[in-house]
Amino acid sequence: MNMIIVGCGRIGGELAYRLYLQGHQVAVIDQVDDAFNNLHPEFRGRTIEGDALNRDVLQRAGIEQAGGLAAVTNSDSINAVIAHVARTVFHVPNVIVRNYEARWRLIHEVFDLQTVSSTVWGAQRMEELLYSADPRPVFSAGNGEVDVYETVVPRTWQGHTLADLLGVNHCLPVALTRAGRALLPAPETRLETGDILHISATFEGIEALRQRLTQTQEK
């Protein structure tokens, strides 16, 4: 698929490389030539120096054949205008905008744009992680019979296996995140203090797990 990235800062450079690795044809637009230094050395897509508000620049990037466009500059107004033009004038099917300043999200909402706000998301995640380690629901399936819960592994479970912790009925592991990297854990995975666990469970299962998390364990 042909993809266009507008803005080659840290996010734009990383996104362009990730899309390239997935086999997409990627074109990156930025007004500043030095910005392309943010691209991975192995990136083999196209780079176009110019103003993405210029129709000719967008056409040189192949917008008329693009399957997706991400506007990720540090200007919320520019992102909004480029995304609106891509969707309404060139009918690009998948258009995403970056929200840089949280207070300007209204601009994107007015245009009814799909928005990713790293500032708001990051602050929300930090707020959640500053709370207690008690499992908290993050997703509910059906009518709430099964929820996905998030919990932080306490110091008392350092070095124990996942099977030790989930020795209760109606609880299944979904993912474990350590140092910002997620993995699919095995029963024999050794837990470390601060690991983030996502667990699917019934109400009965999560109540039993809450009790186990508060227990002092001896290895």
Output DSSP code: residue 140. Answer: E
pLDDT in the model for residue 131: 58
CB-based contact 165:137 (threshold 8 Å) = no
Spell out the residues 6+ positions from residue 57 whose beta carbon is closer than 8 angstroms to its own: 29, 48, 50, 51
Q: Which residue matches tokens 């995140």?
A: 177
The Cα 52–Cα 41 span in angstroms is 23
CB-based contact 1:22 (threshold 8 Å) = no
pLDDT in the model for residue 70: 96
pLDDT in tens, 53-107: 999 999 999 999 999 999 999 999 999 999 999 999 999 999 999 988 877 777 7
Query: Phi/psi at 199 (nearest 5 deg)?
Result: -130, 135
The Cα 67–Cα 57 span in angstroms is 17
Q: Whats the size of the chain, residue-wise?
A: 219
The full set of domains in the chain, from first to last, is: 2-123 (3.40.50.720), 131-213 (3.30.70.1450)
From first to last of the 219 residues of the chain, give the pLDDT tens digit. 999 999 999 999 999 999 999 999 999 999 999 999 999 999 999 999 999 999 999 999 999 999 999 999 999 999 999 999 999 999 999 999 998 887 777 777 777 888 888 787 777 667 666 655 578 888 888 767 888 999 999 999 999 999 999 987 889 999 999 988 999 999 999 999 999 999 999 988 988 898 888 876 554
CB-based contact 185:176 (threshold 8 Å) = yes
